[in-house]
Amino acid sequence: RLLPRSEALAQSKAAALNAVKLDPTLADAHTCLGLIAMLEWDLNRAGLEFAHALKLNPNSAKTLRAAARCATWLGRHQEAIDQIDAFKQLDPVSPRTHVAIAAIYYAAGQYERAIAASRDALVLERQSEPALYFLGMAHHFAGHPDVAIDLLSGASRECPPLLSGL
């Protein structure tokens, strides 16, 4: 059964805290707590959890990606950009990797690089809604409004709404 967001977050947080209590060296549990903190908009706590997780497992692409996105949300764009190579080397064929890269470059105002990363994600997953979004928005801010309109209107036709048919 599907849970309301608040209930799912509470249960996830309780499980992750219990995991850390049972074994404080579980990097994935700290990553989970960091992701939950991001959803709760406690970005400083999220950053601390990611830093702790990376001390425990410096080769976690998921944690490196999340830490970079957190740095972006905190406005630390160069820090996030500096982390791209690390998580890209660890997980080069995941669409999530390339969408995260696109988001980081987009937030930093590096729209041509965001376009390239979005295209890389779309090669791996043709209907990636986040990649289509960043591709369209990056084109818009790069000064290509006609391309952006075509991409974003095409994306809305190709990616049916989540609740269609309800």
Q: Say whether pLDDT at 163 is over 90.
A: no
Q: Are 102 and 131 in contact (CB under 8 A)?
A: yes
Q: What is the pLDDT of residue 1?
A: 78
What are 2-40's pLDDT values in tens digits?
A: 889 899 999 999 999 999 999 999 999 999 999 999 999
Q: Are 73 and 104 in contact (CB under 8 A)?
A: no
Q: Say whether pLDDT at 110 is over 70.
A: yes
Task: State phi, psi for 109 to the nearest 5 degrees.
Answer: 80, 15
C-alpha span between 132 and 123 (Å, rounded): 11
Q: Say whether pLDDT at 159 is over 60.
A: no
